[in-house]
Amino acid sequence: MSNLGIIFKRELLGYFATPLAYIFIVIFLITNGIFTFDLGGFYVRGQADLLPFFGFHPWLYLFMVPAIAMTLWADERKTGTIELLLTLPIRLSEAVLGKFLAAWVLTGIALLLTFPIWITVNYLGDPDNGVILAAYLGSWLMAGGFLAIGSCMSACTRNSVIAFILTVAICFSFVIIGSPILLNAFPDWVPQGLVDAFSALGFLTHFDSISKGVLDIRDLLFFTVFIGAWLLASAIVIEMKKAN
């Protein structure tokens, strides 16, 4: 197995060695249920789609994902295992990526376990499963974006609570950047191109189009580049702050 695979496996098993993974998954499923059926008006809408389900994901991730990401590097620093890990014959990139992927797969598992909702909507009606599949992909990509931010914030501090708060704050700003409330707040004299460029940084802009079944390469590229950039930043921060 490659070093990346070894790190990935250790991290993923680490989540399941403690109650963390189970608690995360259970809370994720319960909140998803409440949001979808209760707040989202799944039945009341009378439509065979999962828009209310996916519509809440950005807000759900806002608190759930930083909770996973906060320990990624902060704990390594706190317990001193970072010194062990980074003096093994592995590349820093393998460690950063392996840890990220393990956390990302955990969110993927939680997401997959929402399949009863998909079964329900198929039982009740005749939804477009292609759209649902695209939305699942978009949701997972967005979770990856949140996680990548969390990885970087976790690398900044040895205190995981601080990492959590920083991650929530930054993720929140990336969620609202694309929202109409913020975009309408721009005065008229600001060129439209600038407003568009600004809103293009927001998660909602990209997630909305994917969750409607529009798999635009630009949206996929956005999340990929976004994740890549934050992971690169993680690696730089780790390299810089190793000593403290």
Chain residues that interact with other proteins, rule: CB under 8 A = 1, 3, 6-7, 10, 13-14, 17-18, 79-81, 83-84, 86-91, 242-243
- What minimum distance in Å lies between the beta carbon of 101 and other proteins? 16
**Cβ closer to other proteins: 89 or 193?**
89
Contact residues for 109 (Cβ-Cβ < 8 A; gap 6+): 21, 25
Distance CA 221, CA 228 (A): 10
Closest separation between CB of residue 15 and other proteins, Å? 9
Please give the DSSP secondary-structure letter assigned to residue 159. Answer: -
Taking the least distance from each CB to other proteins, the nearer of 45 and 91 is: 91
Q: 86-121 burial, b if ≥16 CB within 10 A, otherwise e?
A: eeeebeeebbbbbbbbbbbebbbbbbeebeebbebb
In the complex, the smallest distance separating the C-beta of residue 34 from other proteins, rounded to whole angstroms, is 30
Q: In angstroms, what CA-CA distances link 3 with 23, 49, 50, 237?
A: 28, 41, 39, 21
Residue closer to other proteins, measured from CB, 87 or 192: 87
Give the nearer residue to other proteins in terms of CB position, either 45 or 242.
242
Cβ 236 vs Cβ 213: under 8 Å? no
Alpha-carbon span 138 to 148, nearest angstrom: 15
Nearer to other proteins by Cβ, of 81 and 129: the residue is: 81
Which pair of structure tokens corresponds to residue 180?
């109409």
Give me the least distance between CB of 6 and other proteins, in Å please.
5
Please say which residue, 14 or 127, places its beta carbon nearer to other proteins.
Answer: 14
Q: Widest CA span of the chain, in angstroms? A: 58
